[in-house]
Amino acid sequence: MLHNEEMLTAISIDYLILTAAILLLLSIVASKTSGRLGVPSLLLFLLIGMLAGTDGPGGIDFSNTALVQLLGVFALIIILFSGGLDTRWESVKPVLFKGLILSTAGVLLTAATVGLIVWQLTDFSLVEGLLLGAIISSTDAAAVFSILRSKNLGLKKRLRPLLELESGSNDPMAFFLTITLTQLLLVPDTSIWEGVLSFLMQMSLGGLVGTLLGRLMVWVLNHIHLDYDGLYPVLIIGMVLLIYSLAAFLKGNGFLAIYIAGVILGNHSFIHKRSILKFFDGQAWLMQIIMFLALGLLVYPSRIIPVIGIGLLVSFALIFVARPLSVFLSLSFFKMQIREKLLISWVGLRGAVPIIFAIFPLMAGLPNAEMIFNIVFFVVLTSVAVQGTTLAPVARWLGLYRWEPPKKKYPLELDLTEGFHNELVEITVPEDCSAAGKPLVEVGFPQTALIVMIERNKKYITPKGTTIIEPGDNLLVMTDRPEDLASVNTCLGINRVT
C-alpha cells in the first residue's frame, strides 16, 4: 500500500495533469471561436490564465517566476525557429535592409522615446524609464505571426514580409537593452561603451553561429538517414536547443542564432520538409498557449488595477508616439508612402516577449521591478486588444488590405529531399481572370510549371488539356523555381499584387 505522503503526491500530480489538460483544451476552443468574435486568440489565452489564477475563479496559486522565465525562453526559442522556417527568402530579400533598420534603430528609438516620456511624467528615474521602454520596445513575433495568419491578412507593397522579418529579428536588441539597463540599475558604474561592444559581439556571434549551424542542420538532415521518420523532428529540436545554448555559451545572442538557423533551413530542401513544417507550426502554437497561460497565471489582476493610470499613459505613448516616431525616422531613407509607414506603425503588437523580459528585473530584485512588470502586462493587454482587433480595418482604411484565402488541405503530400527543388503552390482563379472559361490547352503554361490538381466545389479534378478553367478554381501548381510564378500568373491573366 502507498503511504499517505505518496498518495497525496500521486493525487497532486493527477490534479496538475487534469488542470493542464483543461486549460489547454479551453485555449484551443478559444482559438477556434476567437476569429468569429474578432478577438486575437493570444488575448484569450492570457485571460484564461488570469481566470484560472489566484485572483480568478480557478484559484490556482502559481507564483514561480523562475519557472515561468524558463518556460518563456524555451517557448520563444521554438516560436522564433518556427517563424524562421516559414520566412521565404525571396520575399524577405527585397525588404531585408528595412527590416534590419526597424529591428535595431527602430527598437532603440522606441525604447528611448517611451523612457523619456515616462521619466518626465512619472516618478520613475531616467534609467528605470528607459528600462520600461526597452522591455516593451520590440514587436512580438508570436503576436504578429499569429494575427496575420489567423485573419488570412495579406498586405500590399511587400509589407507583410517586412513586418514578419522585423518581429522575428528585433527581440535580440530589446533583450540586450533590457539586460544592460538592469545591470546599470544594479551596478551604476557600468560602462556604456562596454555595453555597446557587448551588443556588437552578441549580434556578430549570434549571426555567425546561426548561419554556420543552420547550414550544418540542412546537411545533417539530408545525410543522417534515420531508421524512424518520427525521429527527424526530435533531431531538429535537439539541434535547435544546441544552437541557442552554443551561441549563449560563446556570449552571442541565442535568439538571433535560432531565427537565422530557421530561415536557412526553411529555404533549403530537406527530407520530410512538409511534415516537419507542420510539426513545428503545431509546436509554435503549443508554446504560445503554454507561455500565455503561464503568464496569465503568474499575474495578479488585483495588482494591475493600481497601475491602470500609468499603464494607459505608457500605452498611449507607445502606440501613438514612440512606435510611429521610430518607424518614420527609421524608414525616412527609403521611398515609402506615408500610408505604408502608418500601417507599419500600427502593426506594432506587443505580446508575451515583453512580459518575459519584465521577469528579468523582477528576478534581479530591482526596487520597482514588480510595478514595472504589472505595467508591462497592462501595456501588452492594451496592445493586443486595441491593435490586434483593428489590424484588418486599419489596413483596409489605408488601402493596403488584401484578403488571402486559407490554404487548402489536399490529399497529396510531397516530401522534398536534397536536390529536389520543385514547389507546390496554390493559386485561386478570381472572377475577373482572363483565363476563366478557356481550356487549359489555350492558356499556354510555361514548360517549367504544371497544374497537378484542380479543386472545384470541394471535388478534386485531374486536369487535362480540354479542362475548362472556371472562376473560383483552386489550382495546385508545381513549379521548378519560385520566380516562375510570375509567368504562371501572366498566363492566367491574374494581376498579382506584391
Per-residue pLDDT tens over the stretch 335-376: 888 998 998 898 888 877 888 888 889 888 888 888 999 999
- What pLDDT does residue 130 have? 94
| Top-confidence residue, 425 or 350 | 350
pLDDT category at 69 given cuts 50, 70, 90 is confident
Taking only the tens place, the pLDDT of each residue in 433-489 is 777 788 877 777 777 777 888 888 878 888 887 888 888 888 888 776 656 666 777
Per the model's pLDDT, the better-predicted residue between 8 and 189 turns out to be 189
Query: pLDDT band at 271, cuts 50/70/90?
Result: confident
Q: Would you state the pLDDT for residue 330?
A: 92
* Segment 4-22 mean pLDDT: 67
Residue 321 has pLDDT above 70, yes or no: yes
CA separation for the pair 272, 286 (Å, rounded): 21
Of the listed ranges 271-285, 306-320, 428-442, the one predicted with least confidence: 428-442
Task: Tell whether the model's pLDDT for residue 188 goes beyond 60.
Answer: yes
**Residue 402: partners with Cβ closer than 8 Å, 6 or more residues away:** 154, 155, 156, 497
Q: 242-251, 369-378, 488-497: which range is least confident on average?
A: 488-497
Q: What is the mean pLDDT of residues 92-105?
A: 88
Q: What is the pLDDT of residue 159?
A: 80
Mean pLDDT to the nearest integer, 215-231: 89
pLDDT of residue 144: 66
Domain residue ranges in the chain: 1-30, 40-403, 423-492
- pLDDT greater than 50 at residue 1: no
Average pLDDT over residues 180-196: 80
Strand partners, 461: 454
What average pLDDT is seen over the chain? Answer: 81
Q: What pLDDT band is residue 142 in, cutting at 50, 70 and 90?
A: low
Q: Are strands 459-461 and 423-428 parallel, antiparallel or unpaired?
A: unpaired
> Which residues, at least 6 apart from 296, have a Cβ–Cβ distance to it below 8 Å?
45, 46, 47, 48, 49, 50, 51, 52, 53
Distance CA 372, CA 377 (A): 9
Residue 157: per-residue pLDDT: 66
Domain 40-403, CATH number (from 3.40.50.880, 1.20.1530.20, 3.30.450.20, 1.20.120.350): 1.20.1530.20
Measure the CA–CA gap between 169 and 106, rounded to whole angstroms. Answer: 12
Quick one: which of 140, 101, 103, 135 has its CA closest to 118? Answer: 135
Report residue 173: phi and psi, to 5°.
Answer: -65, -45
Any bridge partners for residue 455, and if so which? 460, 474
Max avg pLDDT among 59-63, 151-155, 282-286: 282-286
Top-confidence residue, 415 or 17:
17
What are residue 479's DSSP bridge partners?
A: 423, 449
55: part of which helix (H) or strand (E)?
Answer: none
- 205-241 b/e with 16+ CB inside 10 Å = b? bbbbbbebbbeebbeebbeeeeeeeeebbeebbebbb
Instruction: Give the CATH class of 423-492.
Output: alpha beta
Average pLDDT over residues 277-302: 82
| Region 151-158 average pLDDT | 64
